[in-house]
């Protein structure tokens, strides 16, 4: 399952989600300001506290809204 | 009426009684709600880390009443957001800090400490004043909050002892903070 780590009022997070919807990619969203668990996961994956972060396997991830990298990550 | 009489909402939607902070030195600041790690957020975080053990708590109150961009700044457009603006001090729910719908805490703070002018020696002071005169002249009137990052110092007894305009850097407040700790 594709996971998107985000926070509210984050324009690039919105762009990622819109893009995934457009490409019919199902994803699960994690608000890291609401959930300490999600925040810890984010840190484990990316070593930082910035969003959006998109990942499938928790190892390879894309920061920000980068169409090229997202396509590569998701095999689009 | 004192600072400890106020209840506010945290950025997680929970109610927080400011009386919980009795005995601490408080730096209350209205912050920009735009996501990102502006220099003032960084300096506030530095202050917090430096004096936390001695009893300083920074309380950040985001508001989106002041447009999005710091006037006259050439911030790099970062294409990501920093969680909690990259700070670890308490942040509260986004709300108004000026005008008729200003949250009660800020109505109290500006009544306790009025506007005494901007620090004219600060390089950004002129830019901010010009910007406000042109775009938001009504903001210059009275004791209201003029822009993001207006700071108030509260001593350990809950008294508002200082007000610092956006043009006063957090770092330059160290001396005044140390006197209260």
Q: What is the mean pLDDT of residues B128-148?
A: 92
pLDDT in tens, A8-44: 888 899 999 999 999 999 999 999 998 999 999 999 9
Q: Find chain B residues with C-beta within 8 A of A7's C-beta.
A: 35, 81, 83
* Separation of alpha carbons A48 and A34, rounded Å: 17
Structural domains in chain B (count): 1
Closest by CA position to B60, among listed B36, B89, B23: B89
Residues of A with CB under 8 A from a CB of B: 7, 9-13, 32-34, 39, 42, 49-52, 63-65
pLDDT tens for B65-98 read 986 655 555 555 678 899 998 999 999 999 999 9
Residue B118 lies in a domain: yes
Neighbours of B65 (CB within 10 A): 20
Q: What is the pTM of this model?
A: 0.88
Please check whether residue B36 lies inside any domain of the structure. Answer: yes
pLDDT at B112: 96
In 3D, which of B98, B94, B77 has the Cα closest to residue B33?
A: B94
Q: Which range of residues forms the domain containing residue B117?
A: 3-87+102-180
> Any idea what the CATH number is for the domain that residue B68 is in?
3.40.30.10
Residue A42 with chain B: CB contacts under 8 Å: 83
Does B97 fall in a domain?
no
Domains of chain A: 2-71 (3.40.30.10)
Chain mean pLDDT for chain A:
95
Asked if residue B73 is part of any domain, the answer here is: yes
- Domain for residue B94, yes or no? no
């Amino acid at each position: 399952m594709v996971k998107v780590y985000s926070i509210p009022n984050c324009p690039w997070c919105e762009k990622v989600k819109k893009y995934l919807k457009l490409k019919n990619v199902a994803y699960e969203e994690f608000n890291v300001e609401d959930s300490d668990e999600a925040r810890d996961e984010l840190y484990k994956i990316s070593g930082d506290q910035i969003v959006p972060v998109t990942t499938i396997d928790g190892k390879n991830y894309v920061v920000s809204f980068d169409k090229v990298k997202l396509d590569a990550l998701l095999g689009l | 009426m004192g600072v400890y009489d106020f209840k506010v909402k945290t950025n997680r939607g929970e109610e927080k009684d400011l009386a919980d902070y009795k005995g601490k030195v408080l730096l209350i600041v209205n912050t920009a709600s735009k996501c990102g790690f502006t220099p003032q957020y960084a300096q506030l975080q530095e202050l917090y880390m430096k004096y936390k053990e001695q009893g300083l708590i920074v309380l950040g109150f985001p508001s989106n009443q002041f447009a999005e961009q710091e006037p006259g700044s050439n911030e790099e457009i970062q294409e990501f957001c920093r969680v909690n603006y990259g700070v670890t001090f308490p942040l509260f729910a986004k709300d108004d800090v000026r005008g008729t719908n200003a949250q009660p805490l800020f109505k109290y703070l500006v009544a306790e400490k009025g506007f005494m002018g901007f620090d004219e020696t600060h390089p950004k002071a002129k830019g901010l004043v010009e910007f406000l005169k042109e775009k938001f002249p009504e903001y210059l009137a009275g004791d209201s909050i003029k822009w993001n990052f207006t700071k108030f110092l509260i001593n350990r007894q809950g008294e508002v002892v200082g007000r610092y305009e956006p043009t006063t850097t957090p770092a330059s407040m160290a001396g005044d903070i140390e006197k209260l700790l």
